[in-house]
Amino acid sequence: MPFQAAFKSKVRIFDNTKKEGDRPADQKIVADFTVTEAMKAAQWLVDSAKKAQAEGTTVRVYSDQNNFEEVSGFSMWGSLWGNRGNFSPPAIETEEEL
């Protein structure tokens, strides 16, 4: 079966020209969502959270550079070509679709 994205969001990376605070980021990321794609993304996030709970997947949450704890969660990967790219994760099969 060909790849089916759950949603698609264009992503752009910018140099942070207005650095403020004690730890300003070097770059900023922006993701553009249409209303339709935002609704799909919201559903994907809910489905991913449910799947993480059911399967016990974890992510690291850092309290500083060297200390972290593993907590229930998941990752969303994107792709970049230069300073542009997209988030377009694979669709998740839910219980209703099986």
What band does 57 get if pLDDT is binned at 50, 70 and 90?
Answer: very high
Structure tokens at 61: 């949450």
What band does 3 get if pLDDT is binned at 50, 70 and 90?
Answer: confident
Question: How much is the pLDDT for 97?
Answer: 57
Residue 43 has pLDDT above 90, yes or no: yes
Give the angle 55-29-5 at the CA atoms, nearest 5°. Answer: 45
Q: Given phi > 0 = left and psi -120 to 50 = alpha, else beta, which region is 2?
A: beta
Which residue is it, tokens 């605070």? 21
Question: How much is the pLDDT for 89?
Answer: 93
Give the angle 24-29-33 at the CA atoms, nearest 5°. Answer: 145
What band does 23 get if pLDDT is binned at 50, 70 and 90?
Answer: confident
Count Cβ atoms within 10 A of the Cβ of residue 84 and give its class: 0-12 exposed, 13-18 middle, 19 or more buried. exposed
Say if pTM beats, i.e. exceeds, 0.95.
no
